[in-house]
Amino acid sequence: MMFKEKCGYCDGKGKVECDCTGGMGKHVADDDCYACGGSGTHIYPACNGTGRLKN
């Protein structure tokens, strides 16, 4: 049996704010950003967007 705990970094949401926003929110996201394409958020790689980490 495999248990999964909530991802602490993304708080279980599966997405995090992209570095291209500089912490200023998605309204300043870079349209040319390869990670988020201007959305301001991207899938957190440690949990692969699931919001859960393998235990």
pLDDT at position 1 is: 52
Tell me whether residue 37 is exposed, middle or buried, using C-beta atoms within 10 angstroms of its C-beta: 0 to 12, 13 to 18, 19 or more. middle
The pTM of the full predicted model, rounded to 2 decimals, is 0.77
pLDDT at position 2 is: 61
pLDDT at position 4 is: 83
CA nearest neighbour of 51 among 1, 21, 3, 11 = 11
Report pLDDT digits (tens) over 1-55: 566 899 999 999 999 999 999 999 999 999 999 999 999 999 999 999 999 997 6
Beta bridge partners of 5: 53
Residues 6+ apart with CB under 8 A from 36: 18, 20, 29, 42
